[in-house]
Amino acid sequence: MDVQAGLLDKLFAAGHLVETGVQGLYGRSGVFEDVIARFDALITRLGGFQDAEVLRFPPAMPRAWFERSGYLKSFPNLAGTVHAFCGNDHDHAALLECLSAGEDWTGQQQATDIVLTPAACYPLYPVIARRGPLPAEGVLFDLQSYCFRREPSMEPTRQQLFRMREYVRAGTPEQVQDFREQWMDLGQKLIGTIGLPFTVDVANDPFFGRAGRMMKATQREQALKFELLVPVNSEASPTACLSFNYHQDHFGKTWGIETATGDVAHTACVGFGLERVALALFRHHGLDVTVWPDPVREALWGAA
């Protein structure tokens, strides 16, 4: 805990993160944003050979898509639903009375048809599905968005709102496994380029509750998820900065995505935790970006 609080406090003191009173919800300095933008651009350059289709979704998605995605089965505790006031003048007066009396005014809020995006790729699958069967070579998308996960924490690497860049591949099992293999190599090259120490290991998602235990074990046994880990908060428990995920036919079945030959499509994605990589850079290279090692500065900002 000391190490974690230490890094967060240093980032507040340097102004790179701005405290809001809510754990895991921070403002960012211009310098912090620039580091994110430069790393994001570095991913784009590294992935440029792929000819991916760029799509950008806002930080929330339709509740109907969210419900169908299966997220609530696995991670109900992490989701954020968006609620709104639907009343009249009279209800408004009651709301303001609650508010000024310091009482809870949120009871009147009603669920809208919108849910915060839990991972950049969640709004993508229904869009792929409605375009019809995939071409023979499959498809590849380039995504980035703010994502929400309800897990308040003092670890700066565990934020409730953070940005995730992703490449998502859909096609035959062979196509998507090749894609994942390739990015497991490229991801290591990428993180090496910016001078960060890392390991790669098999991993599992934080599936909820008792039923989740079995899902974690299965996911590990089948080696469906790998993470690239960098020590940020502590040496003992390094932070997953990139992940390489093979979903098998989960999203293909859920959304009815078909390959060119009419089989259920498989999908895989590589995800880049942009805030986490920025934090790893500040942790390893220092709070002053102007004195970061030359090769790192060259990789991010180009030759001086």
As a whole number of angstroms, the distance between CA 64 and CA 1 comes to 39
Q: Which stretch binds a second copy (CB under 8 A): 95-103, 166-174, 197-205, 215-223?
A: 95-103
SS3 203: coil
Among 5, 13, 41, 85, binds a second copy (CB under 8 A): 85
CB 288 within 8 A of CB 257: no
Phi and psi torsions of 158, nearest 5°: -115, 85
Among 1, 2, 48, 88, binds a second copy (CB under 8 A): 88
Choice between 92 and 189, CB closer to a second copy:
92
Residue 58 touching a second copy (CB under 8 A):
yes
Distances in Å between the Cα of 290 and the Cα atoms of 4, 33, 51, 294 are 24, 15, 33, 9
Among 3, 82, 215, 287, binds a second copy (CB under 8 A): 82
**Per-residue contact flags (x/-) with a second copy for residues 34 to 53, judged by CB under 8 A:** -------------------x
Among 10, 12, 50, 57, binds a second copy (CB under 8 A): 57
Choice between 207 and 244, CB closer to a second copy:
207
Q: Which stretch binds a second copy (CB under 8 A): 74-82, 177-185, 193-201, 286-294?
A: 74-82
As a whole number of angstroms, the distance between CA 104 and CA 99 comes to 7
Nearest approach in angstroms of CB 135 to a second copy is 16
Nearest in space to 198 (alpha carbons), one of 236, 237, 230, 238:
230
Choice between 160 and 219, CB closer to a second copy:
160
229: β partners: 199, 240
Residue 97 touching a second copy (CB under 8 A):
no
Residue 106 touching a second copy (CB under 8 A):
yes
SS3 147: strand
Binding-residue total with a second copy (CB under 8 A): 66
Choice between 30 and 262, CB closer to a second copy:
30
Site for a second copy in 127-156 (CB under 8 A): 127, 142, 146, 148, 150
DSSP letter at 134? P
Residue 113 touching a second copy (CB under 8 A):
yes
Helix axes 30-46, 274-285, angle to 10 degrees: 110
Nearest in space to 80 (alpha carbons), one of 168, 167, 156, 162:
162
Site for a second copy in 219-278 (CB under 8 A): none
Amino acid letter, residue 105: W
CB 147 within 8 A of CB 164: yes
Residue 20 touching a second copy (CB under 8 A):
yes
